[in-house]
A = this chain, B = another copy of it.
């Protein structure tokens, strides 16, 4: 595999569009005709401030976000947000969390340190193979938290619940910018950029101004959303190269035709892979058809002993990153925006061939 570019099915950091990587390589020593690398560029310079502004505007355009929201580029990933959200908005009171898998559970664990957590719904009794349908929301909750796509368990919300006057907050790390959704339902969404939006090192936070205004003011400066709102994400030195790459990925999304075109392609890719799994006697899916993820396709071989062989032969054939999460096992194909249709078609061909030889 030393000379061919493999298909990268890693869950994140994940595949990026080849033309984005080529552009970044081409201008790696000369960003914006400054004669410097982006990696050496001051975050206080107008060239980089332009990148931040452009990226913010493109996100607003792609996701159709109104001026009621601030677009922030932070650090620490969703894992730091799991703590920052209750530190800012829970503060000894109560909040509702929907338990849909590994990542929702991580969010719950951190929230419990800062207040009372009500599990408004859970699919743990179904091994997180489905999104719950009924919710026990509290009218006095500070917010409702959900995880739009569970990267490890491979399930994804199709329709988001109506939480009335209670602010809805979502971890969208693994399906941001993969499909259309109504931002007006949410007071805050957040996402590490290392799946659909760039490389790791940047956390996108989109926060409605009225929720931001209610935050706990007694926190260390870096953990207050208000700090980053006031300084437009430049309170301290952000991950400059990460924001730059995100900006290039957003250009690529627009060039594809924006969110609707990207969603159409994602639907097509997921259908090809799931249709084959559904029709196969060799592989089977681990999630309910109604809620299975279009980003992370989790499946198994009926003969579990063949899985290791599958992963290793797939790798040798140029399909990498198919091993499921270390905590769950199985096979997982992460097919984010940048995975080309051909990559999914070729994977299905490989799977058919493997099934024939090992079935």
Chain A interfacial positions (CB closer than 8 Å to B): 1-6, 8, 10-16, 21-22, 24-25, 28-29, 33-37, 39-45, 75-80, 82-84, 87, 109-110, 113-114, 192, 194, 198-202, 218-223, 235-242, 245, 320-321, 326
Contact = CB atoms under 8 A, between A and B. Distances in A.
A2 to B, nearest CB: 5
Contact of A192 (B12, B36, B237): B237
A80 B222 contact: yes
Contact of A201 (B82, B113, B239): B239
B200 A109 contact: no
A56 to B, nearest CB: 18
Q: Which 8 A-B pairs have the closest CB atoms?
A: A83-B220, A201-B239, A39-B199, A79-B236, A201-B201, A25-B28, A75-B75, A10-B42
A235 B79 contact: yes
A211 to B, nearest CB: 19
A265 to B, nearest CB: 19
10 contacts: A5-B36, A10-B42, A13-B240, A24-B28, A28-B28, A75-B201, A76-B76, A76-B80, A79-B235, A110-B220
Contact of A220 (B82, B242, B245, B320): B82
Nearest to A11: B42
Nearest to A48: B13
Contacts of A198: 39
A29 B22 contact: yes
Given A4-B35, A220-B87, A201 B240 contact: yes
A33, A34, A235 interface centre (most CB from chain B within 10 Å): A34
Given A22-B29, A83-B222, A221-B110, A40 B200 contact: no
